Chain A
Amino acid sequence: MRKFVFEALITLKNGILDPQGLATQKVLKRLKYPIENVKFGKLITFEIEAENEKNAEELAEEITYKSLINPVLENYELKLLKEIEA
């Protein structure tokens, strides 16, 4: 078995209200920064054991889509960061 490290970057879909982003933006604007479209997201990293890279990627995809995100609200980008010593 080999071990792979993944990173899932989760962001809200367009049109979903992001009050954290809005509140932050308001404050930054008050400080006179020329800033727009502040949006918050989540970064989740995890390690998976798998036979090979392809299996690891399929598993990571399944975990992210079925458990880590809510497809009604969120988009995601999944990246394989590296392989580590198991």
Chain B
Amino acid sequence: MKAGIIVFPGTNCDRDAEFALKMAGFDVEYIWHDFENIKKYNLVFIPGGFSYGDYLRAGALAKFSPVMKEVERYVEEDRGLVLGICNGFQILTEAGLLKGALTKNKTLKFICKDVDVKVINKETPFAKHIKKESLTIPIAHAEGNYYIEDYDYLKENNLIAFEYVDNPNGSIGNIAGIYNEKFNVLGMMPHPERNSLKTLGNGDGLEILLSIRRALENE
């Protein structure tokens, strides 16, 4: 299974992602943001960081990178799965690949701590092999307050992936992560790649990456 990690100027979670994806059994390569051929990857990972310094808005400038046009095509043609973490989630919403938007935390603070998230929709490749009901995963963000006008739409279509047990940032409906309608894109604020080993916490983050690998292998 091949995973590609997209690197924008300002991305800073790429190496954590590489480490965690290798732990989950993927062959991993980096993809520079002006690269245009991502078809060969089974998983495209958009990591956290501060793409283009988060100028204009978090994730807003990254959507104009050539690779994002390819990600759009990749999703449309169902080539594999796309996982966006933190800034990656912000980029996916800015690019219109996921609904809604992320805005400043209600506390106005950058929050960095472990949080518990409930797994809401388990009928997707991202989550179907997760055994636990809730996972402990670190967050580290200033703009993780998820907002959407049509919250009921997400609910009715089972597009909510994870909900915070204790909402840290003011997200509507405690949302920590959502899917697209085809269930081949997941965006989430918590960083599973930062808890991929017992030494780094309890290893809960790896559950998500392992679920993805197993689902891809069984297809």
**A positions within 8 Å CB-CB of B:** 12, 16-20, 22-23, 67-68, 70, 72-73
Per-residue CB contact flags for chain B residues 104-129 toward chain A (1 = under 8 Å, else 0) read 11111000000000000000000000
The contact of A72 among B100, B104, B107, B170, by CB within 8 Å, is B100
Q: A16-B147, A17-B170 are in contact. Are A70 and B101 (CB under 8 A)?
A: yes
Residue of A18, A20, A67, A72 ringed by the most chain B CB atoms within 10 A: A72
Per-residue CB contact flags for chain B residues 85-100 toward chain A (1 = under 8 Å, else 0) read 0000000011000001
Residue of A nearest to B59 (CB): A70
Whole-angstrom CA separation of A78 from B56 in the bound complex: 17
- Give chain B nearest CB distance to A67 CB in angstroms: 8
- A72 proximity list for chain B (CB < 8 A): 93, 100-101, 147-149
Whole-angstrom CA separation of A16 from B171 in the bound complex: 11
Q: A70-B57, A72-B147, A72-B148 are in contact. Are A19 and B108 (CB under 8 A)?
A: yes
B56 touches A17 (CB 8 A): no
- A12 proximity list for chain B (CB < 8 A): 103
- Give chain B nearest CB distance to A52 CB in angstroms: 27
- B105 proximity list for chain A (CB < 8 A): 19
Q: A68-B56, A70-B60, A70-B94 are in contact. Are A17 and B145 (CB under 8 A)?
A: yes
Q: Which of B67-92 contact A (CB under 8 A)?
A: none
Tally of A-B Cβ pairs under 8 angstroms: 34
- A17 proximity list for chain B (CB < 8 A): 103-104, 106, 145, 170
Q: Is the interface of B mostly helix, strand, loop or mixed?
A: loop
A73 touches B101 (CB 8 A): yes
Whole-angstrom CA separation of A11 from B123 in the bound complex: 39
- A22 proximity list for chain B (CB < 8 A): 108
Whole-angstrom CA separation of A72 from B103 in the bound complex: 10
- Give chain A nearest CB distance to B101 CB in angstroms: 4
5 interchain residue pairs of minimum CB distance = A19-B108, A72-B101, A73-B101, A19-B104, A70-B101
- Give chain A nearest CB distance to B34 CB in angstroms: 18
Q: A23-B108, A70-B94, A72-B147 are in contact. Are A16 and B56 (CB under 8 A)?
A: no
- Give chain B nearest CB distance to A30 CB in angstroms: 16
Whole-angstrom CA separation of A56 from B142 in the bound complex: 36
- Give chain B nearest CB distance to A63 CB in angstroms: 12
- B148 proximity list for chain A (CB < 8 A): 72
Known: A19-B105, A20-B104, A72-B101. 10 other contacts (CB 8 A): A17-B103, A17-B104, A17-B106, A17-B145, A19-B107, A22-B108, A67-B64, A68-B56, A72-B93, A72-B148
